[in-house]
Amino acid sequence: IPDSGGKGKYRGGLGLRRDIRVLQENTNLNLLGDHAKFPPRGMQGGDDGATGRYVLNPGTPQEKVMPNKISNYPLKSGDVISMQTPGGGGFGDPDRRAPQDAARDRIAGKTGIKNDS
């Protein structure tokens, strides 16, 4: 997930997104994930990583960000649950990040911000 790793001299790792489509009726969703509430902390001046989140039917008019803890939430056939994991916290002062490292991150699609460090 672009921009999910915390800024730092060494950027935190990116979070992952996994979408799962429901194929049958009478399916229930159970979630238990504090990673959607507390971000991974940066260290020695690095920024925190992004929190994770769960999104029901992302990119549709029915999109709904789900709570991090839920039991027996009914899903319909065709629903999509997007599990988005947190990014890692950055390490070290972001102002000390080498410009070539920031440029390499932009080229690789790790960040969508043009002047990110």
pLDDT value for 34: 74
pLDDT value for 36: 72
pLDDT value for 117: 44
In sequence order, the 6+-apart residues with CB closer than 8 A to the CB of 107 are none
Q: Of residues 111 and 80, which shows the higher confidence score?
A: 80
Q: What percent of the chain has pLDDT over 70?
A: 95
Stated pTM of the model: 0.81
Q: Mind listing the pLDDT tens digit for each residue in 67-105?
A: 989 999 999 999 999 999 999 999 999 999 999 999 999
Per the structure block, which two tokens stand in for 37? Answer: 């509430």
- Rounded-to-integer distance, Cα 25 and Cα 77, Å: 5
